[in-house]
Structure 1
Amino acid sequence: MLASHSKKSSTVRLHLFNWILKDEGRRTKLTQASVTKSLQFPAWGLDPALDTALAFAKADGLIESTSTGVKLTVNGKEFCTRALKAGLFEEDEAYLNKIGLTITEKMVGTIVERWS
């Protein structure tokens, strides 16, 4: 989790990143949000495949549940390190390193509150 504090994130925030990484225009908007500190997405796609991937990652001991989402385990951190060293996600890695930790849970939560 390159763009997450303490290697943890809410699942809705992971869905945001998953949705963003699929489209260059969305990447540009999120890069702008990282500067302005304001997300301009009224909603984003929730991909059931991500939920399935998280379930498999949990079953394999790569992540664990937290009170607000999920967190990488030691094995999960090692797995991610090996995947990045192998160059499996170079473009996504570069993008997430570029925006860093600027997209906060609070920013995501502000939009999610409007969904109710």
Structure 2
Amino acid sequence: MKDFEIKDLKFSKKPISIPVDYRPMYKIAQIVMILSTTCIGNKSSLLKLHLLSWALKDDKNKDEVLELIKNNYDTDIAVWGIEPALNRALLFCVSENICIIENGKYLLTKKGEEFFKLIVTAEIFKEEFEFLKFVGKKKITDNRIESISNKWSLFNVKN
């Protein structure tokens, strides 16, 4: 574990505090947890990463995803958030070789797996892990997410 290093990321202190959802290291850890805990072969589409990141934002979002699973995907789900912060964190992950892009999907590397072990060892993100473990690797597949997103229309969007 001593070999685990992130070399090129540098952060500078800002005069105001940044909410945790927008902190790059939090999002990077979240990506690693999602890939490790809910993705077959530790590989995921961008849309699945956004769905699960959105679900982890608050209990209401988690409940919507859990209802979707419990109702065997017969329940409609509103459009979930697509976050620029997640996209930036993915860029960091790729540039630091925490994950790679393979056939249009994000795949966790050995370095990412080592980072995941550090997260687990630190016993942090307990609530997030509980949710992600329930979702597991087979409940929300990329195909299911694609079919859900294909149902989206302007009529589902609320002000």
Q: TM-score w.r.t. structure 1 length?
A: 0.90
Of 136, 139, 144 in structure 2, the residue corresponding to residue 107 of structure 1 is 144
Question: Do the aligned partners of 1:29 and 1:40 also contact (CA within 8 Å) in 2?
Answer: no
Computing the radius of gyration from Cα coordinates, the structure with the larger value is 2
* Structure 1 portions without partners, runs of 5+: none
> Does 1 or 2 have the higher relative contact order (CA < 8 Å, sep 6+)?
1
Superposed, 1:22-61 pairs within 5 Å as 22-38=57-73, 40-61=76-97
* Structure 2 portions without partners, runs of 5+: 1-34, 154-159
Task: Report the AA paired with residue 84 of structure 2.
Answer: P
| Shift of residue 111, structure 1, vs aligned partner | 2.3
CA separation of 1:104/1:37 partners in 2, compared to 1, >3 Å: closer, same or farther? farther
| Shift of residue 37, structure 1, vs aligned partner | 2.7
- Secondary structure of 1:71 counterpart: strand
Poorly superposed stretches of 4+, deviation over 3 Å: none
Of 83, 91, 105 in structure 1, the residue corresponding to residue 119 of structure 2 is 83
Question: Do the aligned partners of 1:64 and 1:71 also contact (CA within 8 Å) in 2?
Answer: yes
Question: Do the aligned partners of 1:20 and 1:26 also contact (CA within 8 Å) in 2?
Answer: yes
Question: Do the aligned partners of 1:10 and 1:69 also contact (CA within 8 Å) in 2?
Answer: yes
Question: Do the aligned partners of 2:68 and 2:77 also contact (CA within 8 Å) in 1?
Answer: no
- Secondary structure of 2:61 counterpart: helix
Select the structure that is richer in helix: 1
C-alpha distance in 2 between matches for 1:34 and 1:28: 10
- Describe the superposition over 1:9-34 as per-residue Cα deviations: whole angstroms up to 9, x where unpaired: 00111000111111212211211222
Q: TM-score w.r.t. structure 2 length?
A: 0.67
Counting matched residue pairs gives 116
Query: Identity over the aligned pairs, expressed in percent?
Result: 28
Question: Do the aligned partners of 1:37 and 1:107 also contact (CA within 8 Å) in 2?
Answer: no
| Shift of residue 79, structure 1, vs aligned partner | 0.6
How well do the aligned residues superpose, as a CA RMSD in angstroms? Answer: 1.6
